[in-house]
Chains A and B, each alone.
Chain A
Amino acid sequence: MKGSVVDPNRIYASQTSGWFGQIIQRSDDGGETWFQPGTPAGEATSSEDGMPKGESNKFVYDSSEETGKPLTTHQFYDGTLKPWVFKRVWHLEPSLDNPDVVYAGIEDAALFRSADGGQTWQELPALRGHGTGPQWQPGAGGLCLHTIILDPDNPQRIFVAISAAGAFRTDDGGATWKPINKGLHSLYIPDATAEVGHCVHHIAKHPSNSNILFMQKHWDVLRSDDAGDNWHEISGNLPTDFGFAIDVHAHEPETVYVVPIKSDSEHYPPEGKLRVYRSRSGGNEWEPLTKGLPQENCYVNVLRDAMAIDSLDSCGVYFGTTGGQVYGSSDSGDTWAPIVRDLPPVLSVEVQTLS
């Protein structure tokens, strides 16, 4: 889920299950009430001239000759070819200037956009169809587009990340895309420096700078100073550079947070100590933040969308765990306290800073 920065009362949420598929929910009152923004019950599903009306859970790949791209195949884990099939929405990213515009990253990986508050969705097909799509393979969670970053200084620029294809950028509002994975080095794929095929877990960017990006890859924490054209590793003294979550301080563009996880097969903090690591130098030099966090027998994971930053002067930092705890720090990470302890596994943590 995620709220609009333009209208804090507007929140979008993705609800999905293997039984009943995808449902998009929207709140216009800050989460008090929720509804599906498509055609209401009892109303005709097509207009008088026969045009279909909104179906907010309908995500259909655009393979039309006029605006779309052909539905090719992508690769399964073993390299066999699979058709693109919509499975679910992984991430919703509201526009920075219009509460009715929202982007959705989906599985099988593609980017969709709604301009009517989530009633209807249209694919931005040039991403799936730019050329490398047939080489994309799923990560452990599926072939999912999980990260969408909009740029407040350049509305035409969007960054996305796909597991396990990599990172991509458009500078023309989605008309054309290119992979931005140069500098990524992944030992677990046949060509460690391939153009695509990297399991990018998450990317974070400070709003004030269009070009500086921070990445938590399957293994490795990386940084780019040129909008993803080139990356270099900044794992430095981290106890392990595997992990999922990464975020940037609200007011210090060179202060970065990660939660190191032991390994790809052992999804818990090293030594059972839950530690957020902070770098105030843009990477390489990291300090463990432990005050208020369990330092023994903690075997939870922190997932990619489960960390968030508020915009208060002291910069609050928040993260959730697969054990159902949500921790908050009101002082940039120096000290922590649990906000809640007994939720189901936390997939998503978002913060709204209300005046």
Chain B
Amino acid sequence: MIVVVLPAHLRTPAGVTGDVNLEIEGAVTRRSILDALEARYPMLRGTIRDHVAGERRPMLRFFACSEDVTHDSPDAPLPEAIASGAEPFYIIGAIAGG
């Protein structure tokens, strides 16, 4: 089971109050996590990745085990602690503003 921490702004549209748990078959990567997240919460499509190109929205970042994986390949395997659910996968809105 994968644990995903959504930014607060996306919890309201997704209708969740805490972390999100996802089941993923096969390799646990950023792409497979986001695919599973969007399949379960269709209203989040377009809010994290562009609908058409699938590119990350520019002011979002991804963290795994305190490491910034934003600019890693979306198909790179994530650490075992993420795959096992011991550590959450963070989707974070960039802090821009006062």
Whether both chains belong to one complex is answered with yes
Q: Does B42 contact A (CB under 8 A)?
A: yes
Q: Does A42 contact B (CB under 8 A)?
A: yes
Residues of A whose CB lies within 8 Å of any CB of B are 17-23, 36, 38-43, 45, 53, 55-60
B9 touches A57 (CB 8 A): no
**B31 / chain A contacts, CB cutoff of 8 Å:** none
Q: How far is the CB of B1 from chain A (nearest CB, A)?
A: 17
Q: Report how far A40 CA is from B42 CA in the complex, Å.
A: 7
Interface residues of B in 41-78 (CB under 8 A from A): 41-43, 45-48, 50-52, 57, 59-60
Q: Nearest 10 A-B pairs (CB), nearest first?
A: A39-B42, A20-B47, A57-B46, A19-B93, A19-B59, A36-B43, A45-B42, A58-B51, A21-B47, A41-B41
**A40 / chain B contacts, CB cutoff of 8 Å:** 42
Interface residues of B in 9-50 (CB under 8 A from A): 9-10, 13-15, 38-43, 45-48, 50
Closest to B50 in A: A21
B46 touches A18 (CB 8 A): no
Residues of B whose CB lies within 8 Å of any CB of A are 7, 9-10, 13-15, 38-43, 45-48, 50-52, 57, 59-60, 93-94, 96
Given known pairs A41-B41, A60-B52, the reply for A22 and B46 (CB within 8 Å) is yes
Given known pairs A19-B93, A55-B51, A58-B51, the reply for A41 and B14 (CB within 8 Å) is yes
B15 touches A23 (CB 8 A): no
Q: Report how far A41 CA is from B15 CA in the complex, Å.
A: 8
**A18 / chain B contacts, CB cutoff of 8 Å:** 59, 96
Q: A20-B9, A20-B93 are in contact. List 9 more A-B contacts (CB 8 A).
A: A19-B57, A19-B94, A20-B7, A20-B57, A39-B42, A55-B42, A55-B45, A55-B46, A59-B51
A45 touches B39 (CB 8 A): yes
Q: How far is the CB of B56 from chain A (nearest CB, A)?
A: 11
Instruction: Please report whether the interface of chain A is mostly helix, strand, loop or mixed according to DSSP.
Output: loop
Closest to A18 in B: B59
How many A-B Cβ pairs are below 8 Å? Answer: 62
A57 touches B43 (CB 8 A): yes
**A57 / chain B contacts, CB cutoff of 8 Å:** 43, 45-47, 51
A17 touches B9 (CB 8 A): yes
Q: Report how far A55 CA is from B47 CA in the complex, Å.
A: 11
Tell which of A21, A39, A53 touches B46, judged by Cβ atoms closer than 8 Å: A21
Q: Report how far A41 CA is from B22 CA in the complex, Å.
A: 13
**A23 / chain B contacts, CB cutoff of 8 Å:** 13, 43, 47
**B60 / chain A contacts, CB cutoff of 8 Å:** 19-20
**A42 / chain B contacts, CB cutoff of 8 Å:** 40
Q: How far is the CB of B91 from chain A (nearest CB, A)?
A: 10
**B9 / chain A contacts, CB cutoff of 8 Å:** 17, 19-20
Q: Report how far A23 CA is from B11 CA in the complex, Å.
A: 13
Closest to A24 in B: B43
Q: Report how far A59 CA is from B45 CA in the complex, Å.
A: 12
B46 touches A43 (CB 8 A): no
Q: Report how far A38 CA is from B40 CA in the complex, Å.
A: 13
Q: How far is the CB of B49 from chain A (nearest CB, A)?
A: 10
B39 touches A38 (CB 8 A): no
**A21 / chain B contacts, CB cutoff of 8 Å:** 46-47, 50, 57
Q: Report how far A135 CA is from B7 CA in the complex, Å.
A: 39
Q: Report how far A53 CA is from B45 CA in the complex, Å.
A: 12
Q: Report how far A276 CA is from B48 CA in the complex, Å.
A: 42
Q: Report how far A53 CA is from B38 CA in the complex, Å.
A: 13
Given known pairs A19-B59, A19-B94, A20-B93, the reply for A43 and B47 (CB within 8 Å) is no
Q: Report how far A56 CA is from B50 CA in the complex, Å.
A: 14
* Residue of B39, B46, B50 with most chain A CB atoms under a 10 A cut-off: B46
